[in-house]
Structure 1
């Protein structure tokens, strides 16, 4: 079958499946929300009762004795969305990687094979699945799991479909690791880099040995994209040499500031307890002694929550409502200060590859007012912090294209994506990377959180 017929068949099937997904999404919400699909409790319980053994490493060699990116297992399977097949073939790879605490763990990634033959062009697509449940990872979604938490990964098929139609292979890692360490940025980056190492080694992927790689991700996917770019020169120089560029949008720069920005907001406030759970889990720390009874209740409830379950579910929630009075200022918690400062991208080295960075500025559309101290944002991410990060990269000589959209987090995506795709295509074509460094507005200081006296 020729490439044009494969494109038509894929496009028609994708449109039909996504139309089916859309009919299952809840209607009537006045707030911008990601598409989610409710499912019967029985189906979710059935999935939980029969875990897929592929995602568990059972080899006799200790993972710590294997190099990061080592292939542990592979399998080929068709791509399924909401249990309906698409004319795409996948190779899933179990591989050795490193978690937030520096321990060797088994990660998983999915390679969407090129539509025809082999390719030397690879897109590392970082998903915004944003969940505290490992069963919500994109690899589970593509293998047939059907639950609200996996629907973000299904919807994202429409975002990277354009690359597939141009002959790329797509690598989609479960970037949050095997325990779903939400918001633990360095782990996202390490898993992303090791997933690319594994994809290049695994058989049957349709990826040529000489392949070049472009990174792209939005929101939670931008966390993985930026951290992978930052860590690549030291953690994975073999991958860094293959990178042509990184495109990201809706960027988390300084989590300590973002928690203040969404504090008390109408849609995004539920991210506060999600981040507390995810960061505590990833770094192996206990934050429950600082929570009040209500905070502990929310903390326990969200242990396996997805972003779809918390958006709009905690309107007006504040840090103060969750903590004991003496910890109403999070800077009074030394372990919190130390942890969030490790997640500040402004204190990390500049990447070596060109970057495209997009950011919304109208968070009011999603119920988050403009901050008096931090300025505008998109509802969850802070435009001033993104500006400063971009300017910092520019000052170090990196070619950066920085865009701002007068829209919110979700509504910026249709404007960011075409620009990001065109920018990446130009990098693969060998066109010199452009720069908008001279026109980036002034931003916020990216200083670490200071402990309270």
Structure 2
């Protein structure tokens, strides 16, 4: 849920509005529901644009049919960065950590020349993926949060990611060879998409699951009900609470405003189109208690919250069938989040290390080959350590060699039990 761009822009950075591009809107007469998931609706080819400066990378943007959190057919968008060395049979699905409630902050917009500060993370992330382009891979970057920017609605992230890959592999003129294999990678918000795609692929997209060589992720969100407790009152990450309330309410089509305090309603209204850059450090010490009416200081006292947040608990979902690389920081104090929350243990400031360990062990028990690492670093500072490990591991998966595993050394973590109603 963070980027180095957030640190550059600073807390509370304003988001300039970019004019919506009609390309991203489906206007056909045929109902979207009549198309199969992943079906290509329209395409265009352009040069990668860094705020108006064209770079020597050709991009095919694809509007495709996908599924939102409520099971409805919607139009998604993805960008295929074409390989620099000719046709390729290797594809990287890179899931962005753009983390925004504004659809205009999606990476597709930035790649096409958009200048919203909330979307500029895409350029930093493309730089992270340059090594794959230079090695001849194609890189697929979807707007994983869907057309309405349903922040934190994990299953939707996963379905959009999988349908994006379907569209990218089926499109012509991308430099992707028939029968290409694919790997997934993402950090933080990108890990939400990566993990949910891995979990959902066997049932939702078995055609894509067969092509996946593995998934690498870091800064992993496992059990949002616990993360809410972890960041409550923190210095940097507390503002993610109301942002997630907006995103989850939007994604699931529920109304949480009756439970909010007057202050909570003010923040809720203010953040309707906010990006992560606007909330990091902007609400130091903010608590759930301040956001809600006195009767709801215990989140478990809100039935619709309980049922919804439990749908986002990866610990209760099926296991992936592909190898996984999982990295997680443990020094959240460096970003103002204490490790003294009852029963949760340390984390990186926003994600909980014990939850991640339990998820990794769950996958190991199901026969998944997992490599899991913990770093004595925060969410921000774990990235430069995680990235070379993750990319090296993922590159090796395309060789066809058996994936390594350190399952036997992963220590016990937290119970991934669902939130119980109060």
TM-score category (smaller protein) = over 0.9
The equivalent of 1:123 in structure 2 is: 92
Shift of 1:153: 1.1
Equivalenced residue count is: 418
Residue by residue over 1:178-206, the C-alpha shift from the partner in whole angstroms, topping out at 9 and shown as x without a partner, is 00000000000000000000001112111
The 8 Å contact of residues 234 and 284 in structure 2, kept in 1 or not, is answered as yes
TM-score between both structures, scaled by the size of structure 2: 0.97
SS in 2 for 1:108: strand
SS in 2 for 1:373: coil
Which stretch shifts more, 368-377 or 401-410?
368-377
Is 2:366 the counterpart of 1:393?
no
CA distance in 2 between partners of 1:95 and 1:439 (Å): 42
CA distance in 2 between partners of 1:278 and 1:37 (Å): 22
The equivalent of 1:421 in structure 2 is: 391
SS in 2 for 1:278: helix
CA distance in 1 between partners of 2:236 and 2:13 (Å): 25
The equivalent of 1:18 in structure 2 is: none
Shift of 1:82: 2.6
Within 5 Å, which residues of 2 pair with 1:294-309? 294-309=263-278
The equivalent of 2:112 in structure 1 is: 143
Is 2:105 the counterpart of 1:105?
no
The 8 Å contact of residues 74 and 94 in structure 1, kept in 2 or not, is answered as yes
The equivalent of 2:209 in structure 1 is: 240
Is 2:65 the counterpart of 1:96?
yes
CA distance in 2 between partners of 1:375 and 1:76 (Å): 48
SS in 1 for 2:92: strand
CA RMSD of superposed structures (Å): 1.5
| Structure 1 residues not aligned, in runs of 5+ | 1-21, 26-32
The one of 287, 291, 306 equivalent to 1:337 is 306
Shift of 1:37: 8.2
The equivalent of 2:256 in structure 1 is: 287
CA distance in 1 between partners of 2:8 and 2:408 (Å): 37
The 8 Å contact of residues 227 and 352 in structure 2, kept in 1 or not, is answered as yes
CA distance in 2 between partners of 1:133 and 1:266 (Å): 24
The 8 Å contact of residues 36 and 151 in structure 1, kept in 2 or not, is answered as no
Residue by residue over 1:107-166, the C-alpha shift from the partner in whole angstroms, topping out at 9 and shown as x without a partner, is 000000000211000000000000000000000000001021011111111211111111
Shift of 1:447: 0.1
SS in 2 for 1:375: coil
The equivalent of 2:9 in structure 1 is: 36
The 8 Å contact of residues 11 and 279 in structure 2, kept in 1 or not, is answered as no
The 8 Å contact of residues 11 and 277 in structure 2, kept in 1 or not, is answered as no
Shift of 1:260: 0.5
Residue by residue over 1:215-254, the C-alpha shift from the partner in whole angstroms, topping out at 9 and shown as x without a partner, is 0000000000000000000000000000000000000000
CA distance in 1 between partners of 2:236 and 2:16 (Å): 25
The 8 Å contact of residues 95 and 106 in structure 1, kept in 2 or not, is answered as yes
Is 2:336 the counterpart of 1:367?
yes
SS in 1 for 2:16: helix
Which stretch shifts more, 313-322 or 147-156?
147-156
The 8 Å contact of residues 38 and 148 in structure 1, kept in 2 or not, is answered as no
SS in 1 for 2:381: coil
Pick closer, same or farther for the CA change 1:84–1:329 going to 2, 3 Å.
same
Greater RCO structure (CA 8 Å; 6+ sep): 2
The equivalent of 1:53 in structure 2 is: 22
The equivalent of 1:210 in structure 2 is: 179
Residue by residue over 1:35-83, the C-alpha shift from the partner in whole angstroms, topping out at 9 and shown as x without a partner, is 3389998x934x23xx211000011110001100000000000001232
TM-score between both structures, scaled by the size of structure 1: 0.90
The 8 Å contact of residues 355 and 400 in structure 1, kept in 2 or not, is answered as yes
Pick closer, same or farther for the CA change 1:280–1:40 going to 2, 3 Å.
closer
CA distance in 1 between partners of 2:250 and 2:150 (Å): 6
Is 2:164 the counterpart of 1:195?
yes
The equivalent of 1:14 in structure 2 is: none
The 8 Å contact of residues 63 and 75 in structure 2, kept in 1 or not, is answered as yes
The equivalent of 1:178 in structure 2 is: 147
Shift of 1:209: 0.9
CA distance in 2 between partners of 1:202 and 1:375 (Å): 46
The 8 Å contact of residues 12 and 280 in structure 2, kept in 1 or not, is answered as no
SS in 2 for 1:156: helix
CA distance in 2 between partners of 1:261 and 1:245 (Å): 30
Pick closer, same or farther for the CA change 1:121–1:275 going to 2, 3 Å.
same
- Structure 1 runs of 4+ with >4 Å offset: 37-41
